[in-house]
Structure formats: C-alpha cells, structure tokens
A = this chain, B = another copy of it.
Amino acid sequence: MCVLGLGLIGGSLMRAASAAGHPVFGYNRSVDGAKAAQFDGFEASTDLTATLQQAAETEALIVVAVPMPAVPTMLSHIADTAPLNPLTDVISVKGAVLDAVRQAGLLANYVGGHPMTGTAHSGWSAGRTDLFEDAAWVLSVDDHVDVQVWTQVMNLALDCGSFVVPARSDEHDAAAAAISHLPHLLAESLAVTAGEVPLAFALAAGSFRDGTRVAATAPDLVRAMCEANSSDLVPLLDQAIEQLTSARHSLAESQSVSELVEAGHAARIRYDSFSRPDILTITLDEPDWRAELAAAGRAGGVIRSALPGPGNRR
C-alpha cells in the first residue's frame, strides 16, 4: 500500500495498516514529516516519482491523503507514473475529488473514501494507530466503481478497525453539509450573537457550550469544508433560515414556537432511535450491487465484516 501525504489521517493510516499486517510505504512533501515517519520505523520518502514508481512496480493500492487543494497536481503525477494502480482517498468531500479523478483520467480504478475520524491536531506526530477504530469509513458506490478495487479498500477499512458505510459521492456530500457544515455555521452564528449580549458569557452553560463547541475549530478548516461544498450547503442554509424566520414570526405574532420545536424534537428522537444494522446479505458480484449498497447505507446499514464477492480473496 502506498500512502501519499503523511499528516494526521495519512500518518495514522500508515500506522494502522502496518499494524494490521499490510506492507506500507509512503510519500510526504515535507522533509520533517518524512524523517519523523522514518524515525518511527516506517518507509517514507520525499521523492514522489520514486514512490510512485515503487507503487507501479508492486501494484500497490494508492491512498491520496493530501489536502483538497493539492489533489489535482497529485493526481497528474499518479497519471504519469502509476496510472493503472488501484486508487482511493481519505478526503472529506467526495464530489470534488471524483471530478478531479475523472479529469486526470484515473476513474476506472478509483473508489472514493472518507474515514469520519480525526482530532484537533495535525501532522505525522499527531497520528495514532487506533484513529480508525469504530469509525464510519464511507466508501463510494458510484456507478463507475470496480468491484475488485472496492473490495480491496473495504478490506483495508475493516482491517483498520472501521466499519464501512457505502454511499454515493453526491449523497455523501449532501449529508456532510447537513451533519457537519451546517452545524458549524449555526455554531458560529450562535457564538457571534451571544457574544454581543452583555452578561451572556457570564451565564453561559451547557446549551451554549454544546451549541458553540465546533466554533472553536480553526477558521481555515471550517472555511475549507464549507466552501468546498457550497452547492450542497446553500440549499440547506436556505431551509434553516426559512424555518427560523417562520418561527420568529410565529413567536412575535402569536407567542408560539410550537411548529419548529415539535418538528425538531421529533427529528432528534428519530435520530436517537436510528439503528445501524449490519449489511450481511449483499454479495459484491450480484447485479446492481452498487445501488443495493447505496440503499442499505442510506437506511443506516454498515459493513462490519467483509462481504463476499469476486474481489475478496480473503
């Protein structure tokens, strides 16, 4: 396996895959990061071409773990040197990566991935072998995906201790807007609004702390994820604004926030009782396996042990 980018996620993946018995080597742009990985006993290089040549020779699974802005350049290097390798990534937006992969001509062997884990820190030294334990690792089941590559990435995710959530890239991005990007903007707005009220910080307790926790995230990270997913985020912002505006008028005119409060409570209770059944009955060589996995994932299904199929040589 070949990991490109040895930051928090890439570096943790190198550790976790190695601990699970996978042969792993990797590339890091900065000398400091590569040296730190070498010091910890891993095979890491700052020579991208040599690393990709090694990947091509060993037919290694290539994992792109660089920030989104660096992805297109990285993909063009891969297209030059290792165009036939199985390819995945660990980036938190999936539609933009999919487009870049298509433009680089690498679609045939690409399966998008997003391990939903992380910490507030970054860099090789922040990495942890157990970062993926019990995490949801989204694997894309877009129409083009190859069953052999999909199986290979599924096995990697399971070997790292994650469970796999199958999803289409476009649905992943819409869901991420709803459960991550919108909450960040609401938290920012709450912090700003309360920050202007005298005495508010003096009385702030659980509701405020929980509601603004993610506003402590570094602004660059929040901007990067919201702005990379604007086409999914804008319509959700419109919905939230419309609901709040309706509640505001109902409160001002008839002293009631009943409609919003009842609907919000019902939704949260549905979430609390949302079950995560194991996906057991889908085989990876049946017709429509991609659509079946997408439907199962949408319904809460997760893969905790490898599904049978032609690509699964385990």
Chain A interface residues (CB < 8 Å from chain B) = 116, 136, 138, 165, 167, 171-172, 174-180, 182-208, 210-219, 222-223, 226-227, 230, 233-234, 236-241, 243-245, 247-248, 251-252, 255-258, 260-272, 274, 276, 297-301
Q: A136-B205, A191-B267, A212-B264 are in contact. List 10 more A-B contacts (CB 8 A).
A: A167-B203, A177-B197, A182-B193, A189-B243, A189-B260, A198-B298, A215-B267, A219-B265, A222-B261, A241-B244
Residues of chain B contacted by A208 (CB below 8 angstroms): 178-180, 183, 271
Residues of chain B contacted by A236 (CB below 8 angstroms): 193, 197
Residues of chain B contacted by A186 (CB below 8 angstroms): 186, 189-190, 211, 244
B223 A257 Cβ-Cβ under 8 A: yes
Residues of chain B contacted by A202 (CB below 8 angstroms): 136, 165, 167, 175, 274, 276, 297-301
B219 A203 Cβ-Cβ under 8 A: no
- Copies of this chain, tallied across the complex: 2
B182 A260 Cβ-Cβ under 8 A: no
Residues of chain B contacted by A203 (CB below 8 angstroms): 116, 136, 138, 165, 167, 172, 175-176, 179
Q: Which of B167, B180, B230 contacts A207 (CB 8 A)?
A: B180
A192 B271 Cβ-Cβ under 8 A: no
Residues of chain B contacted by A223 (CB below 8 angstroms): 256-258, 261
Nearest-CB distance from A130 to chain B (Å)? 17
**What is the bound-complex CA distance between A245 and B186, given in angstroms?**
11
A251 B237 Cβ-Cβ under 8 A: yes
Given the interface contacts A179-B194, A247-B237, A274-B201, does A264 sit within 8 Å of B187 by beta carbon? yes
Given the interface contacts A226-B251, A248-B241, A263-B192, does A199 sit within 8 Å of B175 by beta carbon? yes
**What is the bound-complex CA distance between A120 and B190, given in angstroms?**
23
Residues of chain B contacted by A201 (CB below 8 angstroms): 179, 270-271, 274, 300
Nearest-CB distance from A226 to chain B (Å)? 5
Residues of chain B contacted by A167 (CB below 8 angstroms): 199, 202-203
Given the interface contacts A188-B264, A201-B300, does A211 sit within 8 Å of B240 by beta carbon? no
Residue of B nearest to A301 (CB): B202
Q: Which 7 A-B pairs have the closest CB atoms?
A: A188-B264, A195-B267, A183-B211, A215-B268, A191-B267, A179-B208, A178-B194
B222 A234 Cβ-Cβ under 8 A: no
Given the interface contacts A219-B261, A252-B230, A265-B188, does A198 sit within 8 Å of B175 by beta carbon? yes
